[in-house]
């Protein structure tokens, strides 16, 4: 989702659709500047020929195929995710560093958030 307004709308709609006590969980990759520095502007063959471009100022990754077709993804920081949880009226139940329930640390490259709508 490219904008804060897009993200906020999604989170507000998810929160509104949950029953009290209902949970919402998702994962997201954490931005890794080492990965960005290694792959930015480089052409790769697998899984299909493409070039990866990082637009750090827009929190965006573009994957550009050789024919010009582009797929874009946007990342968010931990604090941006926490802000979305807050404005949607959800509560953070857990934050993990991966799907195996490993603790989230400063070295984690993934966020796994578990939130809940307040209530019984």
| Residue of 1, 5, 22, 10 whose CA lies nearest to 115 | 22
Instruction: For residue range 62-80, list pLDDT tens digits in order.
Output: 999 999 999 999 999 999 9
| Per-residue pLDDT, 3 | 86
Instruction: For residue range 104-113, list pLDDT tens digits in order.
Output: 999 999 999 9
Distances, alpha carbon 20 to alpha carbons 102, 115, 119, in Å: 27, 12, 4
* pLDDT mean over 49-56: 94
Class of CATH domain 1-30+76-120 = alpha beta
pTM: 0.86
| Per-residue pLDDT, 1 | 79
Q: What is the mean pLDDT of the chain?
A: 94
Any idea where the domains of the chain sit in the sequence?
1-30+76-120, 32-74
């Amino acid at each position: 989702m490219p904008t804060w307004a897009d993200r906020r709308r999604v989170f507000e709609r998810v929160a509104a659709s949950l029953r009290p006590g209902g949970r919402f969980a998702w994962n997201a990759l954490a931005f890794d500047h080492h990965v960005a520095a290694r792959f930015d502007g480089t052409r790769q063959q697998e899984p299909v020929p493409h070039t990866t471009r990082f637009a750090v100022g827009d929190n965006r990754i573009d994957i550009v195929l050789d024919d010009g077709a582009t797929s874009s993804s946007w990342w968010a920081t931990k604090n941006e995710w926490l802000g979305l949880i807050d404005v949607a009226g959800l509560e953070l139940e857990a934050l993990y560093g991966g799907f195996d329930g490993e603790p989230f640390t400063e070295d984690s490259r993934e966020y796994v958030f578990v939130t809940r709508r307040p209530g019984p």
